[in-house]
Amino acid sequence: MLHALRDHGRGLDGEPGFRVREVRWCIDVSADGRFLGVIPLGDGKRGQSMERCPDMHAMNSGGKAHFLVESAQFAALLCKGDEDEPKLQGMRQRHAFYRQMLADAAQEVPILVPVSAALADEIELARMRDALRAAKAKPQDWLTWRVNGFDPSAAEAVQLWWRTWRAKDLNGAEITAKTVKKTNPTLSMVCMLSGETTVPLATHPKITGLVAVGGLAMGDALISFDKTKRAFSSFGLEQSANAAMNEVQAQQYIDGLNDLIRSHSRRIANALVAHWFKDKLPDADDPFALLYGPETDEQTAVSAQSMARRLLDAIRSGQRADLNGNRFYAITLSGASGRVMVRDWMEGSFEQLAKNVEAWFSDLCIVARDGTTNARDPKFLAVCSALVLELKDLPGSTASSLWRCAAFGQPIPAALMALALAQFRSFLLKDEPFNHARMGLIKAYFVRKLNRGDIHMKPAVNSEHPSPAYHCGRLLAVLAGLQRAALGDVGAGVVQRFYAAASQTPGLIIGRLVSNARNHLGKLDGGLAWWYEERIAEIMGRFGDGAPRTLNLEGQGLFALGYYQQIAALRAGNKGGTPDAAANNQPGGSAR
């Protein structure tokens, strides 16, 4: 995993001591150090991505600040107003460090003199804070400077000063040396990424961009060790010497992961998924983009399944030989207490990915609730939403498990099918519209079962399915349609009153419902009554020795699919082989 991240970071022209930051504000000062105003950066939703922002080392020791490009709370002492005194003291300490660094740099780099002068003037500094508050800046927002229309962070002289200062500070503090000094007098170890002898970093730069999934605004560590508990200290090593890496290699994997989070990731429930390919390819050829779905909810002319199949056929026929040797990588992340949690790591061939994505949509394919066509291919987030009442309630581990099913073609865990089934029952009893993604996921569970899966499960109703549980669900749908045809809207009908019991103990319930159906048949005209009698007899003929006395979880899933697919067939009207009168009554749930 680290090698793949390192290789991605190599192409980003990174350098130890610098990093890309999303900067939201620019403080404009004149040549004589007067504050001119605050300039917002970015598009209003996200800040402007700025490369080669100085990145301070050993920030955990406290008291330090980043050089030049820093957050508003430390650069301008912008605070929320409810901070306690210890936190305010820490902010003042870092602000003082920030001002002193700029003052030192200004002695050698003239372009920084106006910035240093503005910070040294308390009146100008107060005006900056007022302007930032008026612009609704947040204390954690990053800011930079502009002097006479020029950003000094881009000046080579400024970057050279930072490189020189950083090298002196690292050498003076012996930050990297003290970690291995006790047990290794040569201060050298083998770098786990390059394989070369190196002096390992004591602490690694932070990963940023995980705030929405549990990370910290200041960043989270991917590689870190708890020195207070002497974790992994069997060899007398401390901190990140337990995963020895030189500065360049560490910077490359950090740059790679930060770039993926910033530009190539999607939030899925309470986790973040980033993916990339060994060889870059156009977005139109990205199978993961098919899983995510289009940016809008409007139905596209070509289904995702068809696009994946077309891509797969092009690879196999040799038309896209450029994709044949490509590989994909995907990492699922979240944050926890200042550390990066890697929930999942996947890699494999591009061809296998395209095959799995095509199979995902094929297995999810389900008849639409109106019965006239198949439902459109669902977005991955729609499938996630089918498991819970609100997407924010879906655990990151569950989303990660479902993502692996989609990308690797794995069976759907029974626990996820149970979640979807519970939501189906809940929405059904409240007479809510059927959710296509939910029904498709329940179907996919059976199609993907080990030992070849359920080869009889189709997108639409299958009267030849061998499972009595499936036909019990079909029968309940027909009985609900019969009641609606005979009595009209009776409020809590047969579905609302008996679905839960019928889906768990059909042997005890179905017989009673069929007996009661005779009363409804007498209220219909001859043709319609005959049609319902034929449907009831045909379905009951599939029971074999009779309706099952009880159904386990899988049996209840088959019951739900039989019920839904039969409802869709009834709603299809004449296309489904039913009289218009039965179709128009929309049995068993809302017509929406």
Average pLDDT, the chain: 86
Q: Which of helix, strand or coil describes residue 531?
A: helix
Spatial CB neighbours of 339, under 8 Å, sequence gap ≥ 6 = 220, 221, 222, 224
Q: How far is CA 289 from CA 182, 296, 319, 387, 466, in A?
A: 51, 13, 21, 22, 37
Structural contact between residues 105 and 158, judged by C-beta atoms closer than 8 angstroms:
yes
The Cα angle at residue 18 between residues 12 and 24, in degrees rounded to 5: 90
For residue 576, the model assigns a pLDDT of 43
479: exposed, middle or buried (Cβ count in 10 Å: 0-12, 13-18, 19+): buried
Q: Which helix (H) or strand (E) holds 54?
A: strand 48-54
What are the pLDDT digits (tens) for 358-415? 999 999 999 999 999 999 999 999 999 999 998 888 888 898 899 999 999 999 999 9
Show me where the domains of the chain are located: 14-173, 264-447, 468-584
> Average pLDDT in the 288-317 region?
77
Q: How far is 46 from 153, CA to CA, in rounded Å? A: 20
Q: How far is 221 from 488, CA to CA, in rounded Å? A: 63
pTM tops 0.85:
no
Q: How far is 97 from 101, CA to CA, in rounded Å? A: 6
Residue 403 dihedral angles phi and psi, to the nearest 5°: -60, -40
What are the pLDDT digits (tens) for 26-62? 999 999 999 999 999 998 888 898 988 999 887 766 6
Looking at per-residue confidence, does 314 or 124 come out higher?
124
For residue 217, the model assigns a pLDDT of 81
